[in-house]
Each structure stands twice: as C-alpha cells, then as structure tokens.
Amino acid sequence: TKQWGGTTLMDEATANCLPSDMARRRLSRATVIGMDSSIDLYELMSDDLADEELIQKYETALAIFETGQNFREAVNAFGELIQKYPNDGPSMLMLVRAVNELVSPSPNFSPVWSAKSKS
C-alpha cells in the first residue's frame, strides 16, 4: 500500500465480493511478491476519496497507458488527475511510470506493475 499511496489493496476476486456501493478502482495489472502470476490490483476507496470522476478518469488514463502506444497522452491524462487530486498516490505512481516510458521507452513494454516489496 505504501508504494501506491493507498490504504487498502485487494485482488479482483476480493473486489468482486464487496457490496456495489463500496467504491473501488482497478489500479493496474500487477505482480505481487509471493504470487506466481499477475493479478488485477484494486484499491478500496474511503468515503472521503470516493469520487466518481476520479475513478472514471483514472480508468481512462490507465487504459491509455496499458496500450503501450501513446505515453504522451497517458502523461497528460495522469497529469490532469494530479492537478485536480494532488494527494492521489495511484495517479502519481502511474504518472511517473508514464513519464519514464515516454523519456526512456522499454524495449519490451509491459503494463504490469511489479511490487518491489511487500509493504
């Protein structure tokens, strides 16, 4: 959670078990320490962070990033999120990822985020 600047992270199976009125967003496809394959990583959003516009715009920016084709557009989309939601850790992390790909493109881009540690 520290790496994402969030509070509660979960996989898709857990996210799907939550009541529909509990706000959540898919953060990224991810490999997590201790698991063999990648998962869709979700954030449970508290009432003070649950903003439908944030969730929708994040999903749009994430979709752009995951195509691996237009990092400039992804940078702009995540940058707009940071301007409106300056304390949103996931948007900041994804902005950094998009900028890194724009500046130094990976020869074999993968949208899957890799955890560096368990915390």
pLDDT single digits (tens) 56-100 = 999 999 999 999 999 999 999 999 999 999 999 999 999 999 999
pLDDT single digits (tens) 19-60 = 988 999 999 999 877 777 899 999 998 777 778 999 999 999
Helices (H) and strands (E) in the chain, counts: 4, 4
Dist CA 64 CA 76 (whole Å): 10
Dist CA 106 CA 74 (whole Å): 15
Task: Tell me the two tokens of residue 21.
Answer: 């009125």
